[in-house]
Amino acid sequence: MLWSDPENEPPKELRDAQDMLRRLGFLMALAMILAMVVIGLS
């Protein structure tokens, strides 16, 4: 890698979008588990 190469860093918007998707995926998984528990109890 040359010293003149640009840094391999995604732009801020992309990182923000990835963070949001990660959070959304986590919330979806949590909601699915909760739904399964509720269905199992009813």
Q: Which domain holds residue 37?
A: 13-42
Indicate whether 21 belongs to any domain: yes
Indicate whether 2 belongs to any domain: no
Indicate whether 19 belongs to any domain: yes
Q: Could you tell me which residue, 32 or 8, shows the higher pLDDT?
A: 32
Indicate whether 30 belongs to any domain: yes
Q: Could you tell me which residue, 1 or 19, shows the higher pLDDT?
A: 19
Indicate whether 4 belongs to any domain: no
First to last CA, the chain: 60
- Band (pLDDT 50/70/90 cuts) for residue 20 is very high
Indicate whether 20 belongs to any domain: yes
Task: Give residue-wise pLDDT tens across range 22-34.
Answer: 999 999 999 999 9
Domain total of the chain: 1
CB atoms within 10 A of CB 1: 5
3-class secondary structure, 22: helix
Residue 10 neighbours by CB under 8 Å, 6+ apart? 18
Tokens of residue 21, six digits: 């998707």
Indicate whether 3 belongs to any domain: no
Indicate whether 1 belongs to any domain: no
